[in-house]
Chains A and B, each alone.
Chain A
Amino acid sequence: MVDEQDLIDRMRRGEQRAFDQFFDAFASRLAAFAARRCSLDAAGLEDVVQVTMINAMRGLGTFRGGSALFTWLCQICRNHLADVRRKADRQPKVQSLEQLEAAKPPGTVVELTDFRDPLDEVADDSTRRAVRHVVNQLPTSYARILELRFGDDLTVPEIAKILQLSESAAESRLSRARQAFRESWDSKQAAGNASAGQV
């Protein structure tokens, strides 16, 4: 794994190789993170990622290494998404955000600036929407680790590094999160089947 503080220090010194490492390591993951939290089209998503990365470059001097670099980027992204939604509230002509608003009352927008940032449930098919709904009902720590494992396809050692846990603790948490999801998912499926069987 990259030494993140060293990477940032090299970027501050203007080292091109450090910038390339930074972009290659985080840009795609950031795009996936943002995509799971908004219903924007590809162009809108591109804007969100670009503004987040630009804001990160402007704030390079403020990164102190207290959190993982990706966590810091995610926080910048959350704040920008919250701005985007606030603007959408003032400009209800944007269709995709209208749909989003219909699914979530405006009050939930505030949550995005907190650590708990739910996945977007306005997904384009029922399975995705249902999965996101179940994940959003789980404790935050479970939702986060499932997202890293199944959304970003990270390995346990990578997850451990990001969450600042030991590998065994990450493995254990992932196992509990999977179990919690499975129970909720299965009971949701069973409830769906039961209601489908009723006439």
Chain B
Amino acid sequence: MSDMKVTKNAEEGGAERALREGLRTPALSPEAMQRIRAATQSEWRAHVEAPAQVPARTRRLSLAAAASVLMLAAAIGWNVFTTNTGQSGEILGELARAETPGLVESHYLRRDVALAAGAPLHAGQVLDVRGDALVTLDGGGNLRVARASSIQVLAVNAVKLERGELYVDIPPGSHASARFMVVTPAGEFRHVGTQFAVAIVNGMTRLRVREGSVQWHATEGDSTVDAGTEVTIDSNRTVTHRPITTAGREWAWAESLAPDIEIENRPLQEFLVWFSRETGRKLVLADDTVRNQAASIRMHGNVRGLTAMEALSAVMAATTLRFELPEGVIRVSSARESTTPST
């Protein structure tokens, strides 16, 4: 368009350059746009397929005939759904909380149902995750699912990730969640006392192990992936490994979904271990004195609704100890001690 070229040349004065600079905005990442697309598409599908969208020509049926058909359909439907519903499946866990617009159970031939906090998750359910969600696992630990994900509950200890991203947190000692696994097109990922994240992005499966290790079972064979490692498997089943940090921004979404910790009358050390796991930082207690204090100090109050970092600040402010956060570490020391020489 030649007239546009002329205009553009004329525009390139100082004022126009400032306009371009001042009004441009950084674009959202392709992954962010992909998540928005998935969530929007899911909502669109839910609305265009809802019964309210039935074409007007169906109204040609007489009211009496329509009523008869509806009653018959309802009777058949009731029988079908009371026998086939996933509600009778084993319970994986309970929806602890979800951000708006929440978690929706997809149904074949009937309306989707939004789940409320406290709702049990049964084997057989297909869940459309429209807002970040936290699920507490019955066997111990929790599952955090990013919005725009879709999961299917396969069994009491297995979920299938259809799209999106989820984070599995099963603390050591949660024996009942032993052998918990995530099923993906790239194979099955089974926890071994672990925190790990699995994502499906643009047809590629990505595993990030934060703590412990994960057994990866695929058609090509089994392997173990250790903490601090990312594995990606593309649609051609090309596998790439790379080291990753266990603390940092890429874990922020999972940290924001951390379950609340009850601190009332609990030892400080328990809180510090929780913080260490939630943020992927190694806990370092400076010496035996600090170790003894951490074990003996009992906390009072609550940190509900606070982020891990806010909770740490609140709790530590009530003690005589101090903390530092060098990369990948939380170091707790006596208030008298300083890592930098004083004059």
Contacts and interface: CB of A to CB of B under 8 A. Distances in A.
Interface stretch (A100-108, A109-117, A124-132): A124-132
Given A27-B33, A27-B37, A123-B22, A19 B27 contact: no
Contacts of B22: 123, 127-128, 130-132, 135, 150
Interface string B38-82: 011101110111000100000000000000000000000000000
Interface in B1-54: 1, 4, 7, 11, 13-16, 18-29, 32-33, 35-37, 39-41, 43-45, 47-49, 53
B19 A150 contact: yes
B4 A46 contact: no
Nearest to A13: B48
A57 interface: yes
B25 A53 contact: no
Given A19-B44, A127-B21, A135-B23, A42 B28 contact: yes
Given A14-B49, A54-B39, A127-B18, A42 B44 contact: no
Interface stretch (A30-38, A63-71, A191-199): A30-38
B101 interface: yes
Contacts of A61: 47
Nearest to B28: A31
A139 interface: no
B19 A131 contact: yes
A146 interface: yes
B23 A147 contact: yes
Nearest to B100: A51
Interface string A146-167: 1100110001100000000000
A19 B41 contact: yes
Given A31-B33, A182-B13, 18 more contacts: A11-B48, A23-B37, A23-B41, A27-B37, A32-B25, A32-B27, A36-B25, A42-B26, A45-B28, A51-B100, A53-B43, A54-B40, A57-B40, A127-B22, A131-B23, A132-B23, A156-B4, A178-B11
Interface of A: 11-14, 19, 23, 27-28, 31-32, 35-36, 42-43, 45-46, 49-51, 53-54, 56-58, 60-61, 119, 123, 127-128, 130-132, 135, 146-147, 150-151, 155-156, 178, 181-182, 185-186, 189
15 contacts: A27-B36, A31-B27, A31-B33, A35-B26, A46-B28, A51-B100, A57-B44, A60-B48, A131-B18, A131-B23, A151-B24, A156-B4, A178-B19, A181-B15, A182-B15
Ordered nearest first, which 6 A-B pairs have the shortest CB separation? A131-B22, A151-B23, A35-B25, A53-B40, A14-B48, A57-B43
